[in-house]
Structure 1
Amino acid sequence: MLRSATSNGANVDEAVAAHSRKDFIHKIAIAAKEARETEYWLRYLDKSTMTTISVSNYLIEIKHILNIITKIIKTSQEDTIKKFKI
């Protein structure tokens, strides 16, 4: 979980330095995949008996992060389509 959670931020940071819009969308999409993996592990911990720590706040936060990243991807894709529309 730690790897996917920290990779999410690293991929967003890489996207900021992307060489093109296509590269940006690709890197942000990877960040979304990492966020989904983090959400999976949080749900797993929430249902397991491995820990007594409550992860419900983290689940809410990762859902917010996923919503933001998804919106960034959709907006970037729409802007690309508009840019090349004749």
Structure 2
Amino acid sequence: MITFQEKYKENLILLKSFGFAKKIVQYCTILEENKKYVIANQLLKSGTSIGANIKEAQNSESKADFIHKMKIAMKEADETEFWLFLCNELENYPNTEELLSEVFDILKITNKIISTSKKMSQ
């Protein structure tokens, strides 16, 4: 059986967002074990939605649709960044520095993809 990494080995943003989603699931599992359900739920939704929207953009119907879906992914990454910053500021929450670094990278790459796509469609 082929893995996600094998199937999309040429697509950096898909690989990064998939790996990030896996780490978010693991982090949220720790939060839930510590009864931090509300933030775990919010972070799980936004953190896994990034990759899902980027994946959906791969099958967009037009360049405009691609850009729109990538913008949604970027908004989810922004929300995820918020929750990670919040977790870092709260007592008794696991450190989020590594996750923050990864979401920063995803935001930079996504922003570049959007701006390049806009230029190419003009």
If the length of structure 1 is used for normalisation, what is the TM-score?
0.90
Equivalent residue letter for 2:68: H
Aligned position for 1:80: 121
The yes-or-no answer on 1:44 pairing with 2:86 is yes
Stretches of structure 1 that go unaligned for 5 or more consecutive residues are 82-86
> Partner of 2:121: helix, strand, or coil?
helix
| Residue 66 (structure 2) aligned to one of 9, 13, 24 | 24
- RMSD value over aligned CA atoms? 0.7
User: C-alpha displacement at 1:54, in angstroms?
Assistant: 1.2
If the length of structure 2 is used for normalisation, what is the TM-score?
0.64
The yes-or-no answer on 1:14 pairing with 2:56 is yes
User: C-alpha displacement at 1:49, in angstroms?
Assistant: 1.2
* Partner Cα distance (1:71, 1:50) in 2: 36
Q: Which runs of 4+ in 1 moved over 2 A?
A: none
Stretches of structure 2 that go unaligned for 5 or more consecutive residues are 1-42
| Residue 109 (structure 2) aligned to one of 44, 68, 71 | 68
Q: Percent identity?
A: 44
User: C-alpha displacement at 1:50, in angstroms?
Assistant: 4.1
Aligned position for 2:77: 35
| Residue 58 (structure 1) aligned to one of 76, 94, 99 | 99
User: C-alpha displacement at 1:25, in angstroms?
Assistant: 0.2
Aligned position for 1:84: none
